[in-house]
Amino acid sequence: MHHFFVGAYGKAYPEAKLHAAPGLAEKKKDVRFDGELDDAPAPEWRAVLDQVVVRGAPLMNEVVFFHRPSRTLILTDLAFHMPTAPAGRARIFCWLVGATGFFGPHRIVRFGIRDREAARGSLRRILEWDFDRVLVTHGEVLERDGKRRFAEGFAAFL
């Protein structure tokens, strides 16, 4: 659902270059994408960012980024970090999928990993990066010890 507003964003910022996760351009034919993300960083950000497509979870199409200068891992839906339950309807969702009280993949993400060997390869590549901090779309930033916490959260797939 994170892609719902990319078309409006592209119209509001016509000079911006839009890069799609694998398969998104086919879903969003009304949006002009400048490129599709893969395991190789684009020339525009190659000097500071690494990236990997998380394989084995075809419904997610997650691309994980590593910002080398700040030693920061950037995630979208692969892992949540909600030490306490959120307010409103999000509380119900988090309770249903078991996303509260820890850092890592919730039930839907774990279920969505259909090819464990492919996922293992992506996760191991992520763990090769020298990150400490983890930014998540859902929850609080892990300010330190992110690599250890990531390895613990995904231990079942490693």
pLDDT for the residue numbered 102 = 87
Paired with 80 in beta bridges are: 104
Average pLDDT of the chain, as a whole number: 92
> Please, are residues 132 and 148 in contact by the beta-carbon 8 Å criterion?
no
User: Which segments of 2-88 does DSSP mark as H helices, in order?
Assistant: 6-12, 24-27
pLDDT for the residue numbered 93 = 85
Chain centre distance of CA 109: 11
pLDDT for the residue numbered 92 = 87
As a CATH number, domain 39-157 is 3.60.15.10
Quick: pLDDT tens for 87-105.
Answer: 888 888 888 888 888 899 9
pLDDT for the residue numbered 103 = 92
Give the closest residue to 142 by CA, choosing from 101, 98, 103, 84.
Answer: 103
Q: Which residues of 44-68 are buried (b: 16+ CB within 10 A; e: fewer)?
A: eeeeebbbbbbbbbeebbbbbbbbe
Q: What does pTM read for this prediction?
A: 0.91
pLDDT of residue 15 exceeding 80, the answer is yes
Domain chopping of the chain, boundaries: 1-36, 39-157
User: Which of these ranges, 89-93, 123-127, 139-143, has the smallest mean pLDDT?
Assistant: 89-93
151 band by pLDDT with thresholds 50, 70 and 90 = very high
